[in-house]
Chain A
Amino acid sequence: MARTVLTWWIPLLILQSFLLAIAFGSNEVEEEFSESLLLKPLPDRKVLAHFHFENRAPPSNSHGRHHHLFPKAISQLVQKFRVKEMELSFTQGRWNHEHWGGFDSLSSMNAKPVGVELWAVFDVPHSQVDTSWKNLTHALSGLFCASINFLESSTSYAAPTWGFGRSADKLRYGSLPREAVCTENLTPWLKLLPCRDKDGISALMNRPSVYRGFYHSQRLHLSMVDSGEEGLGSGMLLEQSLTVVLQPDTVYDGKDLQPSWSLSSLFGRKVVGKCVLAKSSNVYLQMEGLAHQALWKNEEFELSTQPDRILRENSSFLYIFNIDKSSDSEPFDLGLTWKLPSKWSCQQAPLHASRFLMGSGNERGAIAILLKATESQDKLSGRDLTNGGRCTIRANVFQIFPWYVKVYYHTLQIFVDQQQNTSGEVLKKINVSPSTDKMSSGMMEMMLELPCEVKSAAISIEYDKGFLHIDEYPPDANQGFDIPSALISFPDHHASLDFKEELSTLPLLSKFKDKSLVRSYTEVLLVPLTTPDFSMPYNVITITCTVFALYFGSLLNALRRRIGEEERFLKSKGKKTGGLKQLLSRFTAKIRGRPAESPSSESTAAAQSSVLSSKLLFKIILVAGVAATWQYFSTDK
């Protein structure tokens, strides 16, 4: 396969002149990469690990062509499809809003719906947005070894206007709830990192421990940063994050202690040094609801490593560890040992959303979204949410309906505290785009304004189940069809970690410091549709053909029948044979009530019949004998 070059290069004399043009180094801003890991014990004895990688490319005209750290594949994708912003997430498991938090930056950004979710904003004329979207889905599908290309069909994506929480008119959103997420999606995702999982924090990603977790969400967010300069392309920011919720392996000691853990017990690996290409690589430990002073060794718990820095936030402490010093001989293995039982709760979103199906049968049903007040609401109502002297909570609901779920928008009902609300007080704004059969999916965006003291609010909407063409059923159609998660966002509520310190050098924390919209996804619904018997077409063909053939055959026979001849034939036969047939004809004649045609000679017929009957008797006896002997011999053996 390979051939050696045994030769000299061509002495290109002219090249020498270019030498002067090429100066040493460059004073441009370079591509930057940083890695970080956030660990957080959760109230329900689990541990959350959030890996965050940030890759930044400065504004340049050579994007898509020359790169040093930034992944070339992503850059080329951006150049080719003119993506302005894009987010792709692969998730397995459901985020537990009650125990894992619903009102912090981490959950509002990383709690994603099950399966694949993709949204993208394009920088192309309106008419080309759909084409770009389709091409992008195919490219991503190849890049991440997933069936993202199913989002290509116009029945599977939508163009949200304001309900998504991001108002852009060239936005497309789609999700695939049934996509299974596994290592084959993680490996290409890791390939985008300069160190992959060979070095640094990402080396912790031991596949069995990562996929053993309760929740696993791998996210890729790409945004363009405008340079502001004329003639210079825009910069790119690629954020990759992996959020896992793990259960530390500990034996229950009966003391109600939170489980103690270390990095090596969680992941089965230790950090043996930073990724040398990373500008910063830190590990953070966030402890919520601490009663004691922020010491790393106190009577409640003890850390195995001394933190480099401790930050205080409203309700939590953040321990920062720098892993620069760790090496093969001295690996970084952060451990947390609890000494006293400890209990705390996470901050909750103002309303807890859940969604379910109502009705029965294969014909129609209803979808209901239930918003329940959480404990944290009492605290929040004190906040400045007043609207005309009245305290309100605003909630946006964004929902996509597949076309085979034919929603009747006039049946939309809103219940506040179990009272049906018909006035426009609650429903402030609604935007509906109905689905077209086999053409596009339906979309509903709603803005609700609920009083702060609300206990529960429910939205219900009825639908008919559509019929699919036999070709449109997926394999295993009896499993049912998924309705993608609804997104509930609270436009007046923003989550952020409130640090006093300047944190621009720590990308993850500066990101958490920015306000992010509080949002939560509901469950995926499974709608059973009537599934046909897939062999039916053949059965129909066979039955109709048989009926037609019978009809045709009998018609043809009737056409060529000679009735007179047959009667004569029967008559002549009747002269010859008597016996049983005659008896039969006589019997039928009696039933019909007509006199039978008397045979010419009764006596001979009677004699014949007696002979025949004796013959018949003999035959029956013979058969019975044979049967008996057969039975005898077969049972004997």
Chain B
Amino acid sequence: MEETSDHPNPTTSTPGTTPEPDPKTTRSSKPGLKRLLITTTVLFSFLSGLPFLWKSVEIYRSQLPFHDIDSLSDQIKSTPLRFPCTFHAVFIGFGSNDPDQLRSEIQDGVNQLTGENSQCGSCNVSISVTVQSPDELCSGTFPSTCSYRCGVIKKDSFGRGLDDEVDESLDDVFGGCSGGIGKMYSVVVVNREKGSDGGDEVRAVVGKRRHAWIVGSGLEERFGDVVGRVSEVFVKVFMNGGREDDSIQGEFMPVGSDGRLVLSFSLLNSNPRDWIYDWDFQRIDEALLAPVTKALAPIADISVESQVLYHTPKSSFSSWDEKLQSYIFRTSDLPFFVNSNEWHLDTSAGASGRSKILQFVVYIPSGKECPLHLQLPNGEISKTNGFISPMWGGVIVWNPRNCDKDSESPSRNTISPQDLEKIVEVFLGQFRQLFGFKSEATYTSGFGSYKILPSERGFTEWELDVLSRKHTCFNLHSCATTLGSLSRLVQSLPRMIIKDEIGEQVKYSLKAAKLAQSNASLGGYSSSASSSREARSLAENAFFHPSIMSVSYFSYEHCFAVYSPFFLPVAGHVVLAALREWKRYKQEKAKYLTWLTRKKTA
């Protein structure tokens, strides 16, 4: 680059006194700053405009409380939710036992059974013990609000009448008791005199409400057994609902995220040309299912619907068994029983949004495969002739009384009320299983078996307590995982628009979850269940918000394509100009300096 001096003003340099300077290496005037200033201001104004541009193309993202979400899920993972429960044991006919010692022994037993890793939705146990001696003197600790009058429970009343009556009378006794915070459960241990009619047998019954009783003779001698049994009733039955470890876990609670559950009953006539069966389901609904749905109302909003479908064969074949004189369908083939092509069970249009639908199907085999029985792996025939599929529902195979086609034209029949009642009983058993309970009326453990009184509502009160504890826990768990995945999703997609609604829903969901936790620790079963339900549904609403599904089309490529035709060439100009001017200024200054030095030396 050949440069010459900017303003070769002959007046500034005194002519004649100094030799004519070489324009390539020296200059006599100070280099001008005008153009350098212009280019640098343009450059800086561009640079200062960049943040504004960046702001203008930025995508609106509502601020999500990521930290709160993380802390909630950590908290739920690390400290399982526990509800306060009061256990009250009454020992009747025990002469020489110290209630405090009994209490500590039961406490030990309970602790041993609950173990280290207490499940979510279990109890924070407080135990009280009352001992009533044979001469009706009482000693021991009482639950705070309960006034158990000594001698109200007579030991003769046990074992004489029906278990239901005993249960009722116990409820009268403990009716006034509410265990302070949380629910109160009581176990009455009755020690009879030896030689009475019961013999040596120990009988344990769990009632429909929150009471259980153990009756036997000579219990004072087998003291360790009794304490073991009492603590077992408390933990295994009242606390865990008689579930086994391998039974359905809380994660599979069949309740929709909006807290609704639709029970869809279908009667499938696999071939109406052989016979047609109809049912009067409306009366069944009113008489038998309404109490169940009412009982479960705190946990789920249940609606029932029914339909009859025709031409619905099952999708796998059965084989004829000579010995059993029936068609046999093996358990291993069960996954191929439900025929999703022909069974148009239809998701209900009445169930809105994210309701859960449980299908209960009564399958009437066609003439070619009648009678049809399900065979267990051990070769026996299933007594219920039905099976469940978790989170989907249950199937019952119902064989007509007479498998012979009597005439040419198909007979139109109605399933008799007796048969229908049996079917509903199996349904209820399946329904209980879907909720994780056992369908048997007994609970067997190491110390013996317990009889469980079934409720006409399908679920006993203590089972409902277990359900609402588990439900709260499950809801909170699901809320935390949903919010967790939402926050991960949002953080992984930086170009996704997040509306304010989502942010608000997340905020309220967190709030409701906090409320549910605090309510649970205070023992408010229904309030914690409802706020946990709200937390879950809000979290799901946020996750499934329609706007979140559409990732913004305004991608980086798009942005680049729109802005580059202007900014690339202009930026080239500006930066190059600024660089050149700066370079030139440095050069000129150097020339000027050399001129100055030369002038000085001269």
Q: Mark A residues whose CB is within 8 Å of B.
A: 1-15, 18-19, 21-26, 62, 64-69, 72-73, 76-77, 79-80, 139, 143, 191, 194-196, 198-199, 273, 276-277, 538, 541-542, 545-546, 548-550, 552-553, 556-557, 559-560, 562, 565, 568-569, 572
Contact of A2 among B311, B388, B441, B573 (CB under 8 A): B388
Interface centre among B276, B278, B284, B422, by most chain A C-beta atoms within 10 angstroms, is: B278
Q: Are A546 and B439 in contact (CB under 8 A)?
A: no
CA of A4 to CA of B416 in the docked complex: distance in angstroms?
26
Q: A143-B349, A553-B569 are in contact. Are A11 and B441 (CB under 8 A)?
A: yes
1/0 per position for B394-419, CB-CB distance to A under 8 A?
10000000000000011000101110
Which chain B residues (500-544) contact chain A, with CB distance < 8 Å?
Answer: none
Q: Which of chain B's residues has its CB closest to A543's CB?
A: B565
A196, chain B: closest CB distance, angstroms:
6
Could you say which of B169-177, B181-189, B330-338 contacts chain A? B330-338
Q: Which of chain B's residues has its CB closest to A81's CB?
A: B349
Residues of B within 8 A of A549 (CB): 565-566, 568-570, 573
Q: Are B440 and A8 in contact (CB under 8 A)?
A: yes
CA of A413 to CA of B306 in the docked complex: distance in angstroms?
58
Q: Which of chain B's residues has its CB closest to A139's CB?
A: B349
Residues of A within 8 A of B382 (CB): 4-6
Q: Which of chain A's residues has its CB closest to B440's CB?
A: A7
Q: A12-B425, A15-B288, A66-B305 are in contact. Are A4 and B282 (CB under 8 A)?
A: no
Q: Are B6 and A565 in contact (CB under 8 A)?
A: yes
Q: A6-B382, A545-B565 are in contact. Are A66 and B387 (CB under 8 A)?
A: no
CA of A58 to CA of B388 in the docked complex: distance in angstroms?
34
- Lowest 5 A-B CB distances belong to which pairs? A545-B565, A14-B456, A545-B566, A549-B569, A9-B425
B117, chain A: closest CB distance, angstroms:
26
Q: Are A277 and B310 in contact (CB under 8 A)?
A: yes
Q: Which of chain A's residues has its CB closest to B309's CB?
A: A194
Contact of B272 among A62, A276, A557 (CB under 8 A): A276
Contact of B573 among A24, A196, A273, A557 (CB under 8 A): A557
Contact of B410 among A23, A62, A276, A552 (CB under 8 A): A276
CA of A541 to CA of B438 in the docked complex: distance in angstroms?
70
Contact of B417 among A22, A62, A195, A562 (CB under 8 A): A22
Residues of A within 8 A of B456 (CB): 12-15
CA of A21 to CA of B284 in the docked complex: distance in angstroms?
10
Q: Are A25 and B350 in contact (CB under 8 A)?
A: no
Q: Are B454 and A12 in contact (CB under 8 A)?
A: yes
Q: Are B384 and A276 in contact (CB under 8 A)?
A: no
1/0 per position for B410-437, CB-CB distance to A under 8 A?
1000101110111011101110110000
Contact of A22 among B283, B440, B454, B572 (CB under 8 A): B283
Q: Which of chain A's residues has its CB closest to B281's CB?
A: A66
A26, chain B: closest CB distance, angstroms:
6
Interface membership of B374, Cβ < 8 A:
yes
B266, chain A: closest CB distance, angstroms:
9
Could you say which of B34-42, B125-133, B136-144 contacts chain A? B34-42
Q: Which of chain B's residues has its CB closest to A10's CB?
A: B454
Interface membership of B386, Cβ < 8 A:
yes
B245, chain A: closest CB distance, angstroms:
16
Contact of A72 among B287, B305, B335, B562 (CB under 8 A): B305
Q: Are A72 and B39 in contact (CB under 8 A)?
A: no
Q: Are B278 and A68 in contact (CB under 8 A)?
A: yes
Q: Are B307 and A67 in contact (CB under 8 A)?
A: yes
Residues of B within 8 A of A276 (CB): 272-273, 276, 409-410
A selection of 19 A-B contacts at a CB cut-off of 8 Å is A5-B386, A8-B384, A9-B422, A13-B454, A14-B456, A22-B280, A66-B281, A66-B307, A67-B307, A72-B307, A73-B346, A80-B350, A143-B349, A276-B272, A277-B310, A553-B572, A556-B573, A562-B6, A565-B4
Q: Which of chain A's residues has its CB closest to B572's CB?
A: A553
Interface membership of B376, Cβ < 8 A:
yes
Residues of B within 8 A of A65 (CB): 282, 285, 303-306, 350
Q: Are A1 and B38 in contact (CB under 8 A)?
A: no
CA of A72 to CA of B350 in the docked complex: distance in angstroms?
10
A443, chain B: closest CB distance, angstroms:
30
Contact of A553 among B303, B424, B433, B570 (CB under 8 A): B570
A30, chain B: closest CB distance, angstroms:
9
Q: Are B4 and A5 in contact (CB under 8 A)?
A: no
